[in-house]
Structure 1
Amino acid sequence: MKSLFLKLFFVLALVIAGVTAAVFWYANRPLPLAEPAVDFTVQRGYTMRQAATAIARAGVEVDPRVLYWIARLSGKGDRILAGSYEVHAGVTPWQLILKLSSGDVSQGELRFVEGWNFRQVRAALEASPDLAQDTVGLSDAEILQRIGATESHPEGLFFPDTYLFDKQSSSLAVLARAYRAMHERLAQIWEARNPDLPLASPYEALILASIVEKETGRPEDRELVASVFVNRLRIGMRLQTDPAVIYGHGEAFDGNLRKRDLESDHEYNTYTRPGLPPTPIAMPGLESLNAAVKPATTEYLYFVSRGDGTSVFSTNLNDHNRAVNQYQRRAGS
C-alpha cells in the first residue's frame, strides 16, 4: 500500500511538473498578432476573464482561458487595472499579465494651440479617438459646472499645451487639467505684474493677454503690442482691436472685416466701447500672459502690420496714418 501511494505521488508530481513546464513555456512564448501593434481597452470593472476575452478579440492570438489561469495561478488575476493598452510583436502572455497588473497603459496626446477659441478646443476634444467623449451634447455652461469652474464663460480659461493622457480618459478630465494649468500660471504672472498696471484683476490680465495673442504677428513684438493697449487703457483711449470685433461676430464672420462691422455696436466692439471686452477672445500662451502684465515701457499708441508678420509702432496718429498708407493701403491696391 505504501509503495502504491509513493508511485501515485511520483506520478502526480510528474504531472504537476509537466503542467508547470507547459504553462511556463506558454506564458513566455511570443504570441501572434493580427497587426504589428494591437490596441485593446480594459473597461473599469472588468474581471480577468473579461479582460482576456477583450485581448483575444482585439487581435492577440491568445487563448483567453489559458491567459486567465496563468494570471490566477500567479496571484495577479485580481489585480488588473482599467485602461487602454498597446502591445507589439513578440509580446508574451506573461508580459500581457504584467501590463494589466501594473497599469502600463498606452497614452494619447492632444494639443491645445495658442490663439484657439473654445469652439476649436471642443472640436479637437470631440475629434480625438483616444478620449471618452463625455462633453458631447453638453452646453458650455454644463462643461464649466462639471469641471468645477467658477466662471460663466469658457473662453480663454484653458492653458494651451500638449496634454498626455491614458487612452479612453475622460474629455472632461483633460479640460479640467487645462483649466487648472491656466489658473496656476495666471496666478503666478499676476503676482509678478508691473505695479502700475491699469488692470483690476487676473481675469482682466487674461482678457488683455488674449488680445495680445491674436494681435501679435512676431513673438518679439508681444511686449510692444501689449504696451500699445496698456497705454490706451491708461488714457481712456478705445482699444480698437479687430480680433475682438471678429470674435463678437462668432461663426457668422465670413473672413472679411468691413467698415460697417467696426461701426456696428456690440459688447466685443472695442471701436464703439471703451475698455476691455467682457471676456477673453482666445487662449493666450505663457508669452502673451507675461507680456500683458509686463509690457514694454513705451509711448506707443498705434501699430500697423507690414504684411510680413512685423509691425510698425507709432506714438501719434500722423505717423500711424503714414505707416498705414505705406503698408496697408499699398498692399490693398
Structure 2
Amino acid sequence: MWKHIAANALTLGVVLIACAAAIVQIGTSRWAAPGPLSDAVFFEVPRGASLRAVSDALEAQGVVSSASLFRVGTGYVDRDDDLKFGTYEIPAGASMPEVLDIVTAGGPSVYPFSVTYVLRAQGPEVRVRERQPGRPDPVEIATYTPGEAVPEAFTDLLDRDIPMTWRIAVAPGLTSWEIVEGLKGADFLEGEVSVPAEGTLAPDTYEVAQGADVADLIERMRVRQEAILADAWASRAPGLPIASPEEALILASIVEKETGVPEERRMVAAVFTNRLQQGMRLQTDPTVIYGITNGQGALGRGIYQSELDRVTPYNTYRIDGLPPTPIANPSAEAIRAAVDPAETGFVFFVADGTGGHAFAETLAEHNQNVAEWRAIEAARGAVSDQ
C-alpha cells in the first residue's frame, strides 16, 4: 500500500514539476514576445509611482498584455526599484523587456508638444510643434514673432497647463550681443546677463525648463564652445598660420559669416589661410561691418567707400592679419574648418549666383568670376525693374 501511495505521490510530483515548467516556459515566452501596441504611444511614469501602478497603467493603455506578468518579470530581473519619472515614447510592438528598458532609462522627458525659441539673424521666432508618436516630423501648431499676439492654439495649451518641452535654438553666426538681446524676448526664462566675449557661445539647440536662469543657459553655451574649440585645436592640421585657439576662433567666425554653404566652409577657410601664409590682407566685408556696428545688429545697408578706406582694428582691407576678436559666434563646423582647411591654392572667391561662391587661384581668374557675378546681378536687376 505504501508503495502505491509513494508511486502516486511521485507521479503527482512529476506532473506538478512539468506543469510548473510549462507555466514558466509560457510566461517567459509571453515576457519576451512582441507587445500588443499597434501604434507608438507616449507613456508617463508619474513621480513616485509604484511598480503596480505603472504596470496597471501599461496594461490599461495597451502597452503590455499582462500587468501581473510585467511585475513578475521586472522582479525576476531585479529591477523593481528602477522606474524613472518622465514621459517616454514606446514604439509599436515593444516587448516587455523593451518597455522596461524605456521606463527605467530616465533622461529628458519626451513630451508630445515642444516650444522652440529660435534666435536668428532676422530676429527671434517662436515655434510650437506637436510630435505624433512613431512619426519623425512634428506637426506645426503655431509660429509667431515675440511681441505679436500669441496664437490661440498655443494659449490653449498654456491655459490647460499641458506639459511641453522648451528649447532655445541659436543659429550660427550671431554675435554675443544679438544672442543676449534675443533672449530678452524669451519670457519663459528669468534673470539677466551681461554680454559675453564675442565668439565664446556655441550655436546649438538647448533644452531648458520654464523659469530657468538665462545666466545658466549662457554658461552652458560658453562651456560647450570652450570644449569644441579645445577639441578642434588639439586635432588641428600642421603648419597653420594661426598661433592659438583664440586666433582659430577669430578665423572660424570669419568663415561662418562668409558662407552659409556647409560644403564650402573648408574652402573658404583655405582662402583665408592661404592669404595669411602669403602675407595678403584678408579683405573681408564682414569684419568691416563688425567694426561699424560693434556686433550690435545688422548694418542694413552697403558699406561706404569711406568706411573701406578708414583704418580700424576690424578693417581687414587696411590691416594685416586677423582682427583683434571674433566677429560672431561660429558653429562647431566652422571651427573645425578653420583648423583643418581644404588643401587648395585658392586665394580669391566671389558669389556665383547660386548661394555659393566661385573660387580662384589667380587674379585673372578672379576677375573673370567677378565679371560673371556682375552680369548675374545686372540681369536680376533688369528682371526686377520689369
Q: TM-score, normalised by structure 1?
A: 0.62
Alpha-carbon deviations, 1:37-70, whole Å to 9, x = none?
Answer: xxxxxxxxxxxxxxxxxxxxxxxxxxxxxxxxxx
Alpha-carbon deviations, 1:287-330, whole Å to 9, x = none?
Answer: 11111000000111100011221211111111111111111355
Amino acid at match of 1:327: W
CA contact (8 A) 1:227 1:297 kept: yes
The question of 1:110 aligning with 2:168 is answered yes
Aligned equivalents of 1:132 and 1:89: distance in 2?
22
Aligned equivalents of 1:318 and 1:107: distance in 2?
54
Q: Give the equivalent residue in structure 2 for 1:291.
A: 337
SS of match in other structure, 2:184:
helix
Q: Give the equivalent residue in structure 1 for 2:322.
A: 276
Q: Give the equivalent residue in structure 1 for 2:268.
A: 225
Aligned equivalents of 1:309 and 1:90: distance in 2?
43
2:310 paired residue among 258, 264, 276: 264
SS of match in other structure, 1:211:
helix
Structure 2 matches for 1:189-228, cutoff 5 A? 189-228=232-271
1:174–1:217 distance in 2 versus 1, CA, 3 Å: closer
Aligned equivalents of 1:201 and 1:168: distance in 2?
38
Q: Structure 1, unaligned stretches of length 5 or more?
A: 1-85, 92-104, 145-153
1:329–1:248 distance in 2 versus 1, CA, 3 Å: farther
Aligned equivalents of 1:247 and 1:270: distance in 2?
11
Tell me by how many angstroms 1:253 deviates. 3.0
- Could you tell which deviates more after superposition, 175-184 or 321-330? 321-330
Aligned equivalents of 2:363 and 2:330: distance in 1?
28
Structure 2 matches for 1:102-181, cutoff 5 A? 107-135=165-193, 138=194, 140=195, 144=196, 154-181=197-224
Q: How much identity, in percent, do the aligned residues show?
A: 40
1:255 paired residue among 269, 279, 301: 301
Tell me by how many angstroms 1:196 deviates. 0.8
Q: Structure 2, unaligned stretches of length 5 or more?
A: 1-156, 382-386
Aligned equivalents of 1:326 and 1:167: distance in 2?
52
Aligned equivalents of 1:310 and 1:166: distance in 2?
38
Aligned equivalents of 1:328 and 1:117: distance in 2?
30
Amino acid at match of 1:214: K
Tell me by how many angstroms 1:222 deviates. 0.9
Aligned equivalents of 1:165 and 1:233: distance in 2?
41
Tell me by how many angstroms 1:124 deviates. 2.0
Tell me by how many angstroms 1:107 deviates. 4.7
Aligned equivalents of 1:87 and 1:303: distance in 2?
50
SS of match in other structure, 1:163:
strand
CA contact (8 A) 1:305 1:328 kept: no
Amino acid at match of 1:270: T
SS of match in other structure, 1:127:
coil
Tell me by how many angstroms 1:164 deviates. 1.0
Aligned equivalents of 1:113 and 1:203: distance in 2?
21
Q: Give the equivalent residue in structure 2 for 1:318.
A: 364
Q: TM-score, normalised by structure 2?
A: 0.54
Aligned equivalents of 1:279 and 1:306: distance in 2?
29
CA contact (8 A) 2:171 2:204 kept: yes
SS of match in other structure, 1:204:
helix
SS of match in other structure, 1:108:
strand
1:88–1:231 distance in 2 versus 1, CA, 3 Å: same
Q: Give the equivalent residue in structure 2 for 1:186.
A: 229
1:313–1:90 distance in 2 versus 1, CA, 3 Å: closer
Aligned residues: 220
Aligned equivalents of 1:311 and 1:87: distance in 2?
46
Flag the structure with more relative contact order, 1 or 2, with Cα contacts below 8 A and sequence separation at least 6.
1
Aligned equivalents of 2:246 and 2:325: distance in 1?
8
1:314–1:133 distance in 2 versus 1, CA, 3 Å: same
SS of match in other structure, 2:281:
coil
Aligned equivalents of 1:87 and 1:258: distance in 2?
48
Amino acid at match of 1:133: G
Aligned equivalents of 1:221 and 1:209: distance in 2?
13
Tell me by how many angstroms 1:237 deviates. 0.5
CA contact (8 A) 1:186 1:202 kept: yes
Amino acid at match of 1:113: A
RMSD between aligned residues: 2.2
CA contact (8 A) 1:106 1:167 kept: no
SS of match in other structure, 2:359:
strand
Amino acid at match of 1:265: V
Aligned equivalents of 1:165 and 1:107: distance in 2?
8
CA contact (8 A) 2:288 2:315 kept: yes
CA contact (8 A) 1:106 1:166 kept: no
